[in-house]
């Protein structure tokens, strides 16, 4: 398949936020050409291409093409629990509502919930997700069938999954699976849900495969306090002390980090994946994003699951990353819009170890979106990149392409299944769960 | 015009958040009937209606009808300055960027900018605005032509507008204008931009007309500190001491309020109009919403202008009202979703002194919206009211009706002017402003 996008504004996110008029050509799963069109002939000659026959030519009508957003921490299977238990203190929310309900979910339920999540990702211009949940294979299946790029990560803990399962997943989806939409990273749910033995086994496995490890990390004050009581160290320092971060990785949330934690992140090149909406709604706090940036720590952005957020919307997250940092530091100048856009497009791809999805450039994966500039919230046309971060919303997503395939365009989905079928199924599952309650 | 909406889910916001299946009938500018349809015959008989001929019957396909949102503090004319000067400290932003640029705006510029704002309000389900800006008549003209409900408020200060202007506006738009889309309320820009004499004249006028007064109030710490230095009192206490609140009114922002300020608000029945996105982005702080609610103070919600926000989106504001309160109080249980929905629909109407736009009920103004429940972010269908606050976005607005007229439906505007014309004009104005810069 060869697709030509023309009459476009283009934001490559390669090195700066310059926007230019031009074209993007896609061949199969990758980007063949990005440019202002002036060097087209030269490019074709150099590439030894005599004749290009397009399968589709798309007039962008002056709208903006840019790399898709990466949702670098999510639990797709949790869409079933959207608005299921709001406005509760964190511990009640988790122990009395979320955990008991999750215990009733089977793999097929998580598959359906993940399909619903994929629809929502597409409406928000999300072209890659970093997903940790109870049944990674079910989520992986949903993503693969629908065309969503997904880095799965194991959520190993004392109650579900095991080192053996993790290793099997790693071998199947990471080592043997380079060309697919799916990949796999080692991960544990969190320090506080794992025995020391389990954590040590995970560290050993990361050494065996020279692989990074990811986990929920320093999300709440209580979590850090309990870890100090258990091991005399913060979660970051304890995990580092058992060799968990020898080959990199990172943490989801990272709200409550001390100086020494940040030094470890800096020294080891670990990724912070921030989840501002979830941290706000569950009253966990505001992450010290300005501190991370000052130290050159890579920050990317996740929505967290729909039970805590409650939507999977990178526009809201982007605004919050900047806005919450401003109010935290009492300084309207910190965490500029363009920095946030880089987190959402580029850093997220790196955290997911999918660096070739980060930008619009020749040879990169064709994971791109079209932003509708003809909506009132994008007018007048000035500082468009800032507008995307501070004013953008789902209504601005005109098209979402992943791996060279258009999966969403002008409000319609092209994912091999109708939204109606998915909605019917998730509502059916929800009724079943409620009937077995009590 | 008689319009029948059927096959709808209905959230009236009258007393609770119960959602039922039913119909809404609109006759000219008002709601004729709201109900589950069972009592239709009886209703017609009681109303002495023999035969109803519909001009239009709209199948809602199971989507939700509810009252529109009220943007209870905005500056429509500021859309020209959207993303014009982001990521700057507040004082630089205001003094070096916003004020000098505003000085170049003529009435016609503000009219065009207001037209752009109206388009955006409609995409966000906003059916009423409470607008303070440099040229209220220009904004009023844009709203009236396009069909937007607008309570204008004077932004009197030492540099623009005057008591005489304010009184003329009051007589034209408040006293003589009851049936129109436009109304007018007395207002000053803020304590810190007005001389004592100007403030006293405004208080006198409020006594003359027994009218409430509104203003920017206690937005920043610096503002409160400077007022204390000037008058030995907080802005709220000082304004109250000169009789400004004898007949009610309220404040925009209200971020930095002490106990005594809140007592005055409680005793006088004043309105807090909160602007969470703007307060966050300009690093002004987080308003003490939980305290206001505990005291029974009416809280409504505004977007503030597009220069500070940068979009006019009540979904984002609603999420932030609850989320920021949760993180401020370190308690995920405070400021529940339904309370926020009431602020956005009902309290906003009351603040604007347009109480008959607050809910879906017989005889109320037909200011209503249709929420698309067939988007993935509204699925599965549970706790829909919570979903609107925590998961909703502009893509969920299927229709916006104001004063019985459908102004926006399925992405198309019916406002007597094309978006293209407005976009062309605002971009033209922006170029002119930039060319005269230096």
| pLDDT, tens digit, 9 for 90 and up, residues A197-254 | 999 999 999 999 999 999 999 999 999 999 999 999 999 999 999 999 999 999 999 9
**394-433 in B: which are within 8 Å (CB) of A?**
394-395, 419-420, 422-423, 426-427, 429-430
% helix / strand / coil in chain A, to the nearest 5?
45, 20, 35
Model pLDDT, residue B206: 98
Q: How sure is the predictor about A39, in pLDDT bands with cuts at 50, 70 and 90?
A: confident
Alpha carbon of A204: minimum distance to chain B alpha carbons (Å): 37
Alpha carbon distance A118, B376 (integer Å) = 9
> B interface mutation test: which of A71, A74, A87, A276 has the most B CBs within 10 A?
A87
Where do the CATH 3.20.20.140 domains begin and end in chain B? 69-355
Instruction: Kindly give the residue spans of alpha helices, DSSP state H, lying in A286-418.
Output: 289-294, 314-329, 337-342, 348-351, 384-391
> What pLDDT was estimated at residue A52?
78
* CA separation for the pair A269, A265 (Å, rounded): 6
User: Per the structure block, which two tokens stand in for A116?
Assistant: 């619903």
Give yes or no for a contact between A225 and A236, defined as CB atoms under 8 angstroms apart: no
Note whether A330 contacts B285, CB cutoff 8 Å. Answer: yes
| Domain B2-67+357-413, CATH among 2.30.40.10, 3.40.50.150, 3.30.450.20, 3.40.50.2000 | 2.30.40.10
Residues 157-186 of B with CB under 8 A from A: none
pLDDT at A191: 98
CB-based contact A123 B395, cutoff 8 Å: yes
Among residues A386, A434, A135, which one has the least CA distance to residue B306?
A386
Find all residues with CB under 8 Å of B334, minimum gap 6, and list them: A87, B289, B290, B325, B326
- As annotated, the residues of chain A forming the CATH 2.30.40.10 domain(s) are 2-67+362-413
Residues in chain A: 438
Least confident of A85-89, A103-107, A375-379, A407-411: A85-89
| Whether the Cβ atoms of residue A300 and residue A272 lie closer than 8 Å to each other | yes
Residue A437 pLDDT grade (very low, low, confident, very high; cuts 50, 70, 90): low
> Beta-carbon neighbour count of residue A50 at 10 Å?
7
Contact indicator for B409, B399 with CB cutoff of 8 Å: yes
Q: What pLDDT is attached to residue A316?
A: 98
Please tell me the distance from the alpha carbon of residue A218 to that of residue A238, in angstroms, as a whole number: 12
**CA distance to A43, A52, A407, A415, B97, per residue, from A58 (Å):** 20, 15, 15, 19, 39
Hey, which bits of B286-380 come out as E strands?
298-301, 368-371
Q: Any idea which architecture A2-67+362-413 has in CATH?
A: Roll (2.30)
Question: Where in the sequence of chain B do the CATH 2.30.40.10 domains occur?
Answer: 2-67+357-413
Residues of chain A with CATH 3.20.20.140: 69-353
Q: Which residues of chain B have pLDDT under 70?
A: 176-179, 437-438
Task: Please give the backbone phi and psi of residue B169, each rounded to the nearest 5 degrees, phi first.
Answer: -60, -40
What number of helices (H) and strands (E) belong to chain A?
17, 17
- Say what the pLDDT of residue A86 is: 84
Which positions 46-105 of A are in contact with B (Cβ < 8 Å)?
A: 79-80, 82-84, 86-90, 93
For domain A69-353, is the CATH number 1.20.1440.230? no
DSSP SS3 for A265: helix
- Please give the DSSP secondary-structure letter assigned to residue B218: S
Distance (Å, rounded) from C-alpha B264 to C-alpha B217? 13
pLDDT at residue B315 in the model = 98
| Residues composing chain B | 438
Q: Omega into B380 within 30° of 0, i.e. cis?
A: yes
pLDDT for position A149: 97
The SS3 of residue A147 is: coil
Residues 6+ apart with CB under 8 A from A185: A130, A151, A152, A153, A154, A174, A211, A212, A213, A214, A249, A352, A353
| Cβ–Cβ under 8 Å, residues A331 and B284 | no
pLDDT higher for B213 or A434?
A: B213
**Residues 6 or more apart in contact with residue B45 via CB below 8 angstroms:** none
What 3-state DSSP class applies to B249?
Answer: strand
User: Do B146 and B415 meet the contact criterion of CB atoms below 8 Å apart?
Assistant: yes
The mean pLDDT value of chain A amounts to 95
| Distance (Å) of CA B416 to CA B128, B402, B419 | 18, 14, 10
- Reading the block at residue A225, the tokens are 């306090």
Which of the listed CATH numbers 2.40.128.130, 3.20.20.140, 3.40.1710.10, 3.40.47.10 matches domain B69-355?
Answer: 3.20.20.140
CA-CA-CA-CA torsion sign (B353, B355, B357, B359):
positive
Reply yes or no on whether the pLDDT at A438 is more than 90. no
Q: What is the DSSP letter of A269?
A: T
Q: Report pLDDT for B346.
A: 97
Q: Inform me whether the pLDDT recorded for A178 exceeds 80.
A: no
Name the band, by pLDDT with cuts 50, 70 and 90, for residue A94: confident
pLDDT number for residue B428: 96
Q: Report percent pLDDT > 70 for chain A.
A: 99
Q: What is the pLDDT of residues A69-79, one digit of tens each?
A: 999 999 999 99
The answer to whether the CB of B300 falls within 8 A of the CB of B72 is: yes
């Amino acid at each position: 398949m060869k697709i030509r996008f023309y009459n476009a504004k283009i934001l490559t996110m390669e090195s700066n936020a310059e926007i230019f008029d031009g074209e993007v050509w896609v061949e199969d799963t990758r980007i063949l050409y990005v440019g202002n069109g002036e060097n087209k002939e030269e490019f074709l000659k150099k590439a030894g291409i005599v004749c290009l026959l397009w399968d589709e030519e798309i007039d962008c009508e002056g709208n903006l093409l840019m790399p898709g957003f990466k949702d670098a921490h999510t639990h797709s299977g949790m869409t079933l629990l959207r608005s299921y238990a709001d406005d509760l203190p964190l511990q009640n929310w988790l122990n009395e509502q979320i955990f008991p309900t999750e215990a009733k979910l089977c793999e097929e339920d998580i598959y359906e919930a993940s399909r619903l999540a994929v629809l929502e990702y597409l409406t928000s211009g999300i072209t890659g997700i970093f997903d940790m949940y109870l049944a990674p294979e079910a989520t992986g299946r949903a993503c693969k069938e629908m065309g969503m790029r997904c880095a799965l990560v194991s959520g190993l803990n004392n109650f579900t999954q095991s080192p053996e399962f993790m290793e099997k997943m790693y071998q199947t989806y990471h080592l043997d699976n380079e060309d697919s939409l799916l990949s796999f990273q080692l991960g544990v749910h969190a320090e506080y849900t794992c025995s020391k033995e389990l954590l040590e086994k995970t560290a050993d496995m990361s050494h065996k495969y020279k692989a990074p490890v990811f986990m929920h990390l320093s999300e709440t004050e209580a979590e850090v306090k309990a870890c100090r009581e258990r091991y005399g160290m913060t979660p970051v320092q304890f995990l580092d002390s058992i060799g968990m971060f020898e080959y990199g990785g990172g943490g989801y949330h990272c709200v409550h980090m001390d100086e020494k934690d940040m030094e470890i992140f800096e020294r080891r090149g670990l990724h912070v994946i921030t989840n501002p909406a979830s941290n706000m709604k569950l009253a966990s706090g505001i992450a010290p994003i300005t501190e991370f940036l000052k130290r050159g720590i890579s920050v990317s952005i996740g929505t967290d699951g729909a039970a805590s957020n409650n939507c999977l919307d990178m526009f809201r997250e982007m605004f919050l990353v900047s806005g919450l940092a401003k109010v935290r530091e009492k300084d309207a100048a910190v965490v500029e819009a363009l920095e946030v856009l880089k987190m959402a497009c580029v850093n997220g791809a790196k955290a997911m170890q999918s660096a070739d999805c980060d930008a619009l450039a020749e040879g990169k994966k064709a994971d791109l979106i079209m932003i509708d500039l003809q909506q009132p919230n994008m007018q007048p046309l000035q500082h468009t990149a800032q507008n995307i971060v501070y004013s953008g919303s789902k209504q601005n997503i005109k098209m979402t392409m992943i791996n060279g395939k258009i999966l969403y365009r002008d409000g319609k989905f092209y994912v091999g299944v109708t939204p109606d079928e998915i909605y019917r199924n998730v509502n059916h599952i929800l009724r079943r769960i409620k009937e077995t309650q009590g």
